[in-house]
């Protein structure tokens, strides 16, 4: 699939290192699906949708920094939407997110509310200045925030906030954030893994299931097409939380 040209309509600052880009294309994505964003002359990188026509980007390296240099009226290339997305199940759901991983969950939560589903959110950030989409999550229903430094909400990592909830009350739990955070949540809630949908990341090149760059050991599941959303019980015996492969296929730590 060749990239289609898209003109950025608006850029919003959400936090010092996080910006939302509104696109001119109506791609009709499901929450949890992603788009490959081509920043010409630099790289093509995967980004989740934070609403039907926005992506929310954290500046971490060359491509995302180059994207931050683009304003309204600039053009980028897009391929997608790709991947499977979250599936809404039941009438009472919990969203659990960390950092920019809260972006697809805000989108999902809004879709769920529109369908009459009760939404509760647990979201974590490093510090108060890193908090994004607080108003969107507050509008959905009950919200618990954690910050690593305790500036806002519960002090500590996202898993600290789990103590506020009886997980048996939720029909489904939706998870997205840094891998270490997601693994922490999954390992503490193993008995609920059959109802946790986790949106994960691996190194994507083709995004069409051809190159094998994103395969998850030991099954060789292609995260770009069979994911990025997986039931957590499928991840427990996989490489998830243990290591992830980089651009050259070698194993590295799974911090991001
Ligand atoms: C399905 C999916 C959805 C994502 N959604 C978002 C999102 O909504 N917002 C957001 O800010 N980030 C998202 N990311 C992560 C984003 O793709 C990386 O932060 C981005 O590619 C970094 O590129 P860079 O050149 O700026 O940084 P680099 O310095 O090149 O890389 C920094 C880190 O980003 C990751 N990364 C780099 N290139 C890729 C790639 N092609 N595929 C996967 N990971 C890569 C690696 O872990 C790397 O260590 C998503 C990743 C995936 C796989
Ligand atoms: S990125 Fe090529 S197979 Fe998934």
**Alpha-carbon torsion (181, 29, 108, 86), positive or negative:** negative
- Is residue 87, in this structure, part of any structural domain at all? no
Domain co-membership, 120 together with 167: yes
Residue minimizing CA distance to atom 49 of ligand 1: 256
| Burial (Cβ within 10 Å: 0-12, 13-18, ≥19) of residue 168 | exposed
Domain co-membership, 36 together with 72: yes
Query: H or E element: which one contains 65?
Result: helix 62-68
Ligand 1 centroid to Cα of residue 46, in Å, is 6
Among 61, 82, 103, which residue terminates a domain? 82
Which of 17, 23, 38, 46 is the pocket-test mutation for ligand 1 (most atoms within 8 Å of CB)? Answer: 46
Q: How many Cα atoms sit within 13 Å of 141 on the Cβ side? A: 17
Domain co-membership, 190 together with 244: yes
Q: Kindly give the number of the ligand 1 atom that is closest to the alpha carbon of 50.
A: 8
Instruction: With a cut of 70, say whether residue 256 has pLDDT above it.
Output: no
Domain co-membership, 68 together with 154: no
pLDDT band at 255 (very low <50, low <70, confident <90, very high): low
| Burial (Cβ within 10 Å: 0-12, 13-18, ≥19) of residue 94 | buried
Q: What's the helix, strand, coil split of the chain in %, to 5?
A: 25, 35, 40
- Is residue 166, in this structure, part of any structural domain at all? yes
- β-bridge partners, 92: 118
- What is the C-alpha to C-alpha distance for residues 133 and 59, in angstroms, rounded to an integer? 17
- Report pLDDT digits (tens) over 47-63: 999 999 999 999 999 99
Binding site membership of 93 for ligand 2 (Cβ less than 6 Å): no
How many other CB atoms are found less than 10 A from the CB of residue 67? 23
- Report pLDDT digits (tens) over 168-221: 999 999 999 999 999 999 999 999 999 999 999 999 999 999 999 999 999 999
Binding site membership of 212 for ligand 2 (Cβ less than 6 Å): yes
230 — alpha (psi -120 to 50), left (phi > 0) or beta? beta
Instruction: With a cut of 80, say whether residue 254 has pLDDT above it.
Output: no
- Residues spanned by the domain of 204: 92-252
- Report pLDDT digits (tens) over 123-157: 999 999 999 999 999 999 999 999 999 999 999 99
CATH number, domain of 52, equals: 2.40.30.10
Q: Kindly give the number of the ligand 1 atom that is closest to the alpha carbon of 57.
A: 11
Among 82, 117, 135, which residue terminates a domain? 82
Q: Kindly give the number of the ligand 2 atom that is closest to the alpha carbon of 212.
A: 3
* DSSP conformation letters of 9-33: -EEEEEETTEEEEE-S----PPTT-
| pTM score | 0.97
CATH number, domain of 181, equals: 3.40.50.80
- Is residue 159, in this structure, part of any structural domain at all? yes
Domain co-membership, 118 together with 206: yes
Q: Kindly give the number of the ligand 2 atom that is closest to the alpha carbon of 225.
A: 4
What confidence score (pLDDT) does residue 192 get? 97
């Amino acid at each position: 699939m060749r990239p289609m040209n898209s003109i950025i309509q608006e850029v919003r600052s959400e936090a010092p290192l996080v910006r939302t880009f509104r696109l001119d294309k109506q791609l009709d994505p499901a929450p949890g699906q992603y788009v490959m964003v081509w920043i010409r002359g630099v790289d093509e990188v995967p980004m989740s949708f934070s609403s039907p026509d926005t992506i929310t980007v954290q500046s971490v390296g060359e491509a995302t920094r180059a994207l931050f240099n683009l304003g309204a009226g600039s053009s980028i290339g897009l391929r997608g939407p790709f991947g499977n997305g979250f599936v809404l199940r039941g009438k009472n759901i919990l969203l659990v997110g960390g950092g920019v991983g809260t972006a697809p969950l805000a989108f999902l939560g809004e879709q769920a509310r529109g369908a009459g589903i009760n939404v509760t959110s647990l979201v974590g950030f490093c510090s108060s200045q890193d908090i994004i989409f607080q108003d969107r999550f507050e509008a959905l229903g009950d919200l618990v925030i954690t910050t690593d430094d305790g500036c806002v909400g519960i002090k500590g990592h996202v898993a600290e906030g789990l103590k506020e909830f009886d997980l048996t009350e939720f029909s489904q739990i939706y998870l997205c954030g840094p891998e270490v955070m997601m693994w922490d949540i999954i390992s503490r809630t193993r008995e609920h893994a059959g109802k946790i949908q986790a949106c994960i990341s691996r190194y994507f090149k083709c995004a069409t299931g051809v190159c094998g760059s994103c395969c998850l050991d030991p099954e060789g599941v292609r995260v770009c097409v069979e994911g990025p959303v997986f039931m957590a019980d499928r991840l427990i015996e996989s490489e998830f939380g243990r290591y992830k492969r980089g651009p050259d296929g070698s194993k590295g730590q799974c911090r991001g």
